[in-house]
Structure 1
Amino acid sequence: MTKPMPGAAGDLAQQHPDLWNAYAALGKACAEAGPLSDREKRLVKLALAIGASSEGAVHSHVRRARSEGLEEEALQQVALLAIGPLGLPRAVAAKTWIEDETT
């Protein structure tokens, strides 16, 4: 872990670094298991967080996406793409969670 994280995940990482390191290693292995670009992986992770209705994960992936140079319009499109499979209310919620970190 290179920098402190906010919230419960950060607490877990500090209290149980061996568990956190194993979790991080699993994430790295999953990320390297296929041909997706870093940009594609970030957008997929954002979409999965939206699908799981995880506000905290959406915030986290938006912050990471912005730090990696992804444009706000791409992140907003992920929320709009959620309308069909997830419904308008969940997509609107996702849009507001994205805007929490971009406006």
Structure 2
Amino acid sequence: MEEQQLPSAAGTVAERHPQIWKAYAELGKTCAEAGPLDATTTRLVKLALAIGVGSEGAVHSHTRRALEESVPPEALKHVALLSILTIGFSQAVAALTWIEDITDPA
């Protein structure tokens, strides 16, 4: 991900500490390549993890990146619905609204 596409706080860290950002980005790439999951599955897992920790910014980021990678919006919304029994109805609905911020902007 290019620095100008980062959320403001992450972009600031990347700008101020480019070696840290480079190492972080490389670690992400290495982790993604470490196993048998395909790119779409990897993206959906990352979205699910962002939902699980309740990070609106990360959910927005992974949703944007998934759409750029041609993951259907309904698949992203399904991830939020799957989280209902694990994280609770209200948190899952919040995550669904975060996804829809990107997939269905007003």
TM-score over 0.5 (shorter chain)? yes
Q: Say whether 1:42 aligns with 2:35.
A: no
Whole-angstrom distance in 2 between the partners of 1:69 and 1:75: 11
Structure 2 length-normalised TM:
0.94
Structure 1 length-normalised TM:
0.96
Range moving further from structure 2, 45-54 or 21-30 = 21-30
Whole-angstrom distance in 2 between the partners of 1:2 and 1:80: 30
Q: Deviations over 1:29-60 (max 9, x none)?
A: 10011000000000000000000000000000
The amino acid of 1:47's aligned partner reads A
Whole-angstrom distance in 2 between the partners of 1:63 and 1:2: 13
Q: CA offset at residue 66 of structure 1?
A: 0.4
Q: CA offset at residue 7 of structure 1?
A: 1.4
What aligned pairs does 1:44-59 form with structure 2 within 5 A after superposition?
Answer: 44-59=45-60
Whole-angstrom distance in 2 between the partners of 1:65 and 1:2: 16
Gaps of at least 5 residues in structure 2 are none
Q: CA offset at residue 3 of structure 1?
A: 4.6
Q: Deviations over 1:70-101 (max 9, x none)?
A: 10100000000000111101100000000000
% of aligned pairs identical?
61
Gaps of at least 5 residues in structure 1 are none
